[in-house]
Chains A and B, each alone.
Chain A
Amino acid sequence: MNIVYFLIPLALLLGGVFAVSFIIAVVKGQYDDLETPAYKILINDEPKTKMAPDLISRKDSLRGN
């Protein structure tokens, strides 16, 4: 029966570790937006292409105003 005195602290410790890691995850904001990542996962990765030039060139943007 003495094994109980070892197992109980162990169980509590494990529980504590999970509770603390959950709190850390919450504080870090992992639960702030639960939806967007679900959409992102639908999008396949693709090989990185060379960075394209600006969608609007600076000159264009100045002229536009």
Chain B
Amino acid sequence: MESQTKLQTQCLHCRTLFFAGPDSQFCCSGCAFVFQLLEQKNLTDFYKIRELDPPQSPVPVQPVEDSFEYCDDKYFLTEVSKDARELTFFLEGVNCTACVWLLDKLPEICSSVEASTINFPNSTIHIRRTEAGTFALAAETLARLGFNPRAVSNKNSLETFKKTERKLDLIRIGIAGACTGNIMIFAVSNYAGATDELRLMFNYLIVALAFPVLTFCAFPFYRNAWAALRTKNLNLDLPIVISILAGVVMGLHGLITGAENIYFDSLSMLVFLLLSSRFWLKGIQQKFISANHIQDHLLVRQVTVLTDKLKSQISSMLLKEGQLVEIRSGMVIPADGVVIRGTGQIQTAILTGESSPILVKTWDTVEAGTYNIEGDWVLKVSRPPLESRFAELLESSKKALLNKPTQVKLADNVGRWFILTTFALALLTFAFNASSGTAEAFSRALALLIVTCPCVFGMAIPLSISFAIRAAAQNDIIVKDGSLFERLLNVRHLFFDKTGTLTDGQLKVTSVHCNPANLKYLKYIYALERNQKHPVATALKQYFYNSDEMDCGKVQELVRGGLQAVIDGSTYSITPIALTNNGFENQIKSEFAFSKDGSQIAAIKLVDQLREEAPEVFAWAKREKFSTTILSGDQPATVIQCARELGLTSDLFRSRLSANEKAEIIAPNAGTSMMIGDGANDAQALATAGVGIAITGALDVSLKAADAYLMQPDLRKIPRLFEIARKTDRAIKRNLSISASFNLIAGTIAISGHMTPLWAAVFMPLSSLIVLASAIITGTRLTKQIETLKGIHS
């Protein structure tokens, strides 16, 4: 009798743990291939470098079978690139120093590449090809190395726009910093007691230096304030602009009359601090969003078009109605259309959430974005990619996002109250002091406007939120918009998608019933399934992996489903076991029989399992008194099974829902709902809910609609996110009270007319600095606390 012992081994290339036979060192053929290539090229230093800074989440190499001739298509190149010799690719799986090193070597590895520039945070590589080279060869090299490249447009894109904007921001900060620094030299001399001629000269120099700061550098504030006025709104830039303008008026008046304070030093400092903190915030936010631009290029692939016995390769974006496209296994279907020849099995999870493959045959309609698991067939395009339902879905989720009930942000809300109070107080001050002369009354009112600092709203709150975003990022949660943390506080209902959210969306072998005497035959299962791409085959291959190079001759596909082959003179077959009472045709059964010469020797059960942490998270939700509901597009039987395992009663799960229905269920309580989902079919629901969270593995599309994205599919991140939100809320409230007491004191002094120049000069920056320091201290503590938590949990 032969017993099967299975040990977890680390893959030599990607370091994923896997079940291996005695002499296999790689988890998959993709990894083995990359390893061989590197060895052959003397590039095994890759592994040494990786030890310096190992990636956190290893991923096996996904063999890519796309071809990339479209990259050299003239029309395509003019569409996406300014220069026909340069092209940018988005890469998957660039996650450590070693990857950067390897990509840096690209010109040495591939003769088509003249120069390459890697952008690690954006996961992009910009390639300049040699005179004679082709982008196809470069892309193929990248693909073989396991980076799955996609050509990205770098013309007129949002990315280019962001880059220019960032440059302008930096220049503004640079000038503001240089001028403010020099202003301080003169201002300090004046406060220290410079007199007469010297003092006057210093004052003029301060005004001259402040001029670029208050015009060019402060321009974004004026623009935003003007926009707010035009739309009859109040935003945070308005009080800032009022402070600046009031300060300028007072300052110029002081300059002419020879008053002691000309305010320009404080104003320049204010502008510099505000610009810097906003730049910081923007940087943190954009860093985690930039990876999303891949979604715009989802449909760009090369396809083979058939015309009168001729085959030609074009980019899928150029497909037109009526064209015939060759679809091979492992391909994403590029356009809506009809199957006109051949049969295949397609995975529609992206659009419907249905986890089982669907059989398609001649005259069946198929939709863009779905995935052809196996079978070669011909598609007649009825709607080109950009008009497909898939593209419409993308569009509608964008719209849903725009129509989201506008959540009044805390900062805006309190900020508005603050602006109105300050104005009212300034008016009152003017009215009460009118008796002691208009000039005096005016100067007191202006002093009040200047010293009551709006910077807690302009800087401290955004800073606290950026710390929250960073804390979330440390937990592998990408937050699209900081207002998420505020909206999280209102959440009372949690809605979960099933396939891919509560389950990991992949079939796994859960049990094998086999007579011990027959165990030795199980290794033939791998041989049978070796060339299959079906989810069932993938699961079986993973479970029964062995490195024996068995030749099993020709593998036959059986009419009733399953495979059969002759090995060593015996016929082996894997067939689905027909379950009784299964009303759904086209559904792939989850139980299989492995037979030798017609008699069954093993029964294998496959299940799309619940994530192991799901029960824990549901228990947490119960403790926190959240209501939890499962919304699934899957079959009732699977959903019931899933709900039962989580201990939900029958009114708390719904099955066979369409995208619309999910959104409709959420809509009545949108403001207090959180949707956790995966896949484009949830996009609408994600956008409708007050908070939408897309879980990894989800199509990039979900990111368009969702507010946050989990880079690791771990549901425990959801309680973590709530915790961050609550802590941030507390930090913001603390800063608000500090700022309130400060403004109260400064305001009282100003109203009573005791605001001496020295006080004003001390108060303005001091209150800003104290609030900023408070935000930074609580922020760093937050990120640290969350970090430790992470250590305990994982």
Please report A residues at the B interface, Cβ cutoff 8 Å: 1, 4, 8, 11-12, 15-16, 18-19, 22-23, 26-27, 29, 31-33, 35-36, 39-40, 42-43, 46, 49, 51-52, 54-56, 58, 61, 64-65
Contacts and interface: CB of A to CB of B under 8 A. Distances in A.
Contacts of B118: 36
B182 A33 contact: no
Contacts of A32: 119, 163, 166-167
B69 A65 contact: yes
Contact of B140 (A35, A51, A64): A64
Nearest to B169: A26
Interface of B: 37, 41-42, 45, 49, 52-53, 67, 69, 97, 100-101, 104, 108-111, 118-122, 136-137, 140-141, 144-145, 163, 166-167, 170-171, 174-175, 178, 181-182, 185, 198, 205, 313
Contact of A26 (B140, B174, B181, B198): B174
A55 B41 contact: yes
A23 to B, nearest CB: 5
Given A26-B167, A55-B110, A61-B140, A40 B175 contact: no
Given A23-B174, A42-B97, A55-B37, A12 B137 contact: no
Contacts of A1: 198
A29 B163 CA distance: 9
Given A23-B171, A56-B141, A40 B104 contact: yes
11 contacts: A15-B182, A27-B167, A32-B166, A40-B101, A52-B41, A52-B109, A54-B137, A56-B137, A61-B136, A64-B67, A64-B140
B170 A31 contact: yes
Nearest to B96: A39
B41 A36 contact: no
A39 to B, nearest CB: 5
Contacts of A22: 171, 174, 178
Contact of A19 (B67, B167, B178): B178
Contact of A8 (B109, B145, B163, B205): B205
Nearest to B137: A61
- Most chain A beta-carbon contacts within 10 A, residue among B45, B111, B144: B111
B171 A26 contact: yes
A55 B141 contact: yes
Contact of B178 (A18, A26, A56): A18
A54 B110 CA distance: 5
Interface hub of A35, A36, A46 (most chain B Cβ within 10 A): A36
B574 to A, nearest CB: 30
A43 B49 contact: yes
B49 A36 contact: no
A33 B198 CA distance: 45
B42 A49 contact: yes
A42 B97 CA distance: 8
Contacts of B178: 15-16, 18-19, 22
A36 B100 contact: yes
A46 B101 CA distance: 12
Contact of A42 (B41, B42, B53, B182): B53
A19 B144 contact: no
Contacts of B108: 51-52
Nearest to B182: A15
A36 B121 contact: yes
Contact of A52 (B42, B175, B181): B42
Contact of A39 (B45, B120, B145, B181): B120
Given A11-B185, A31-B170, 8 more contacts: A1-B198, A22-B171, A26-B170, A32-B163, A35-B120, A36-B100, A40-B100, A56-B140
Given A26-B170, A26-B174, A42-B53, A11 B42 contact: no
A33 B119 contact: yes
Contacts of B119: 32-33, 36
A23 B200 CA distance: 31
B121 A33 contact: yes
B97 A19 contact: no
Contacts of B37: 55
B144 A39 contact: no
Given A55-B109, A61-B140, A43 B167 contact: no
A19 B174 contact: yes
A64 to B, nearest CB: 7
A51 B141 CA distance: 16
